[in-house]
A and B are shown apart, each in its own frame.
Chain A
Amino acid sequence: MRTPDLFRFNLRLLTGQWFRTLMTLLATAVGVAAVLLLTGMGEGARRFVLDEFNLLGNDVLIILPGRKETTGGLPPLTGEGTRDLTLDDAEALLRLPGVRTVAPLVVGLTEVEANGRNRELVVVGTSIELFRMRQLNAAQGQLLPVLPLERAEPVCVIGAEVRRSLFAQQPVLGRWLRTGDRRCRVIGVLEDRGVSLGTDMSEAVIIPVASAQQLFNTQGLFRLFVQVQHLDLIEPLKPSILDLIQSRHQGERDITLITQDSLLGVFDDVLQLLTLAVGAIAAISLVVAGILIMNITLISVSQRTSEIGLLKALGASERQVHRLFLSEALMMTLIGATLGVLTGYALLWGGHWLWPQFPVSVPLWALLGAVLLAIGVALVFAWLPARKAARLPPVLALKGMTDAQH
C-alpha cells in the first residue's frame, strides 16, 4: 500500500468518526501541552533566578568574613569572623597580581529622613567599583565619586523606589537626606531594573564605604568582592588570596571564598531537577492518553471486524492489517501532538505577554521528549489491538466475530 493511500484511508476513518477522533486528539494534545507548559515554566523559573544572580559576572570572587565549611549545600550567607575584614585588607588585595578591582560592602538598616518623610531603609556602603561589577547605571545624576576607600564623603545615590517613596515626583538631585545622624546630598538615582533577587538596590541608599563605617560604627566589612583580570585567574588566585589574608590576620584563615558559579550551581541543580520532576508528572497524562488510544483502537478493531475480514479476503496480509491499525493510531497521535505543541507554545507566549519579566522557553529535550513519548505510547498501546486485528481468521471476521469459537 502506498503511503499517500494509507494516509487517505486513515484520514477517511478519522473524519468519519470525528467525535471519537476529537476526544483522542484532545487527550494527546492536553498531555503534550501539559509537558511543554510545565517544563517551560520550570525552565523559565530557572533562567529567571540565574539571570538575577548572574549580574555579578563570572569573574568575581566573593569574600565572606569567618570560615565556614562549604562542602555541599548553600554557602553561608552570614559571616561570623573572628577578625574583621577591613578596608586595609581590601587595599592589600587590590595590590595582588591578577586582581582588577576590589569592591567592599557594608550593609545596615537605618532610619532615613528627607523631605519631611521618614523611612527605615537599607543603607549600603561601597565604592564605585560595585556599580561596575553589577552593571548598575544611573538614571539621573552620577554614581558615587571615585574616592580613596577610607575617605568619607557626604554624598549618596538612591534607588528608584527610594526616590519614589521619599520625593515622589519632585526634583531630587542636590537634595539632602539624613541617614541616621549624618546628612548627605543626593547625587544620583539608580535606573529601575525591577526586583533583583541578590540585593534589592532599588530600595537602598548607597553611600561611600567609609561613611557607612562611621554611620554603623564598625571597622568590619560585610563582604568583599574581588574581580579578577581574567576568568582563568579565578582558581589560581584563590590560594593567594587566602595566604594574603592569613598573613594579615595573624595566621588565621578566617575568611570564606565563594564564586558565583558555586552559588549558581546549587540553584541550577535544584531548579533543573524541579523542571524534570514537573515534566515527568505531566508525562503521566501522556501515558493516560496512550491508554485511551489503546481503548479506541480496540473499539475500532471490534467495530471494523467485518471490514478486516473483507480486507483479508481482498488479499491484505497480516502485516498490512497490522500496519493499517498502527498507522491510524499514529496519525491520530501526530495530529494530537502537533495541536498540543501549538497550544503549549501559545499558552507560554500568552503568559510571557502578560508577565514580560518572566522568561519562557521550552527546553529542547522536553519538546522532543513529549512528542516522542506520545508517539511511543501510541505505538506501544496500539500494538496489541492491531495485532489482534491482524490475526483475526478471515472467515470469522467476515461474519463479524472477533473470537474463534473453540
Chain B
Amino acid sequence: MIRLQQLCKCYQLGDEPVQALDHVDLEIGAGEYLSVMGPSGSGKSTLLNMLGLLDTPDSGRYWLDDIEVSALGEEARAAERSRRIGFVFQAYHLIERLSARENIELPLVLTGNAPDERRARVDELLQRLGLDRHADHLPNQLSGGQRQRVAIARAVIRKPALLLADEPTGNLDSHSGQGVIELLEELNGEGITLVMVTHDPAMGKRARRRLWMQDGKLIKDEQDAHA
C-alpha cells in the first residue's frame, strides 16, 4: 500500500541543518498496525507527516496505492489526503467554536456532501463511539478522552484507508489513553491501516510491527511472527 524509496528531508533549525529523514526505505501493507518509536528529534513525526502528504520530501519517491504521490502538486495532494488519509493529533485540533457533531462532519462539509447524508453518517459514528449524548457539546465541554474520540471520529468519517496518529494518547491520563488506543485498534481490526507515532514503549509494544528511528534513520523494524 505504501512504498517509500530513499526519502530525504532536511530542516534548518536555527543555524543547524537537521537531517529529519535520511534515505528512508519503507514498505507498509494494507491493514498493518505499525508503531514508530524513537527519541524526540529522531524524525518520527516528520515520517508521519510525509506519509500523510502534509510535508514534501527533498528527494526520494513515495507511492501510495500505486500512485506516485511525491510527484503530485499541492492541490492533488490535498485531494489524496481527503480521499485516503485520516489524522489524529496529540492536541486533538478540534475547532473550538463548533460542536462535536460539526467537528466530526467537517471533512464531509469540505467535500460538499449533502446535509442528510452527513447527518446519517455522523449519527452512526457518534452512536458507535458512545458520544451521542455529547453531539451538541462544544470541545471545551468535553473531557480529553471524549475530545480525542471526536477527533478520531472526524478522522474516519470519510472511511480512509490510512489512519495516522501522532502521539494520540500524549495528552491523556492512562485510563482515557487506554480507551482511545483500544478504539484505534478496533478500527484497525476492521481493515484500516494504522500508523502511530509514540514515545511510550508500552503503547508502542501493542503494535504488530514496530519501527525505531534515530537521527532520521530507521534503525530497527520488528514484526510479530504471527501477524
Residues of A whose CB lies within 8 Å of any CB of B are: 1-2, 5, 9, 12-13, 16, 306-307, 309-320, 393-395, 398, 405-406
Contact = CB atoms under 8 A, between A and B. Distances in A.
Contacts, number: 73
Nearest to B113: A2
B52 interface: yes
Nearest to A306: B93
Given A312-B78, A313-B52, A398-B54, A1 B110 contact: yes
Given A313-B52, A313-B87, A315-B107, A16 B97 contact: yes
Contacts of A13: 97
B54 A314 contact: no
B81 A406 contact: no
Contacts of A2: 109, 112, 114
Given A5-B109, A13-B97, A316-B110, A395 B12 contact: no
A406 B82 contact: no
Contact of B83 (A12, A315, A318): A315
B74 interface: yes
Interface residues of B, number: 31
B55 A395 contact: yes
Given A13-B97, A16-B97, A406-B12, A314 B75 contact: no
Given A318-B75, A319-B75, A320-B110, A310 B83 contact: no
Contacts of A398: 54, 89, 93
A12 B102 CA distance: 11
Contacts of A16: 97
A312 B107 CA distance: 10
Interface string B155-195: 00010000000000000000000000000000000000000
Given A313-B52, A395-B54, 11 more contacts: A2-B112, A12-B97, A12-B98, A309-B93, A313-B81, A314-B154, A315-B107, A317-B74, A320-B110, A395-B49, A398-B89
Nearest to B50: A395
Given A1-B109, A306-B93, A315-B83, A405 B12 contact: yes
B93 A310 contact: yes
A267 B69 CA distance: 71
A68 to B, nearest CB: 73
14 contacts: A1-B112, A306-B93, A309-B93, A311-B106, A311-B110, A312-B54, A314-B81, A314-B107, A315-B78, A315-B111, A316-B82, A395-B55, A398-B89, A405-B12
A222 B87 CA distance: 93
B71 interface: no
A388 to B, nearest CB: 15
Contacts of B81: 312-315
Contacts of B26: none
Contacts of A5: 109, 112, 115
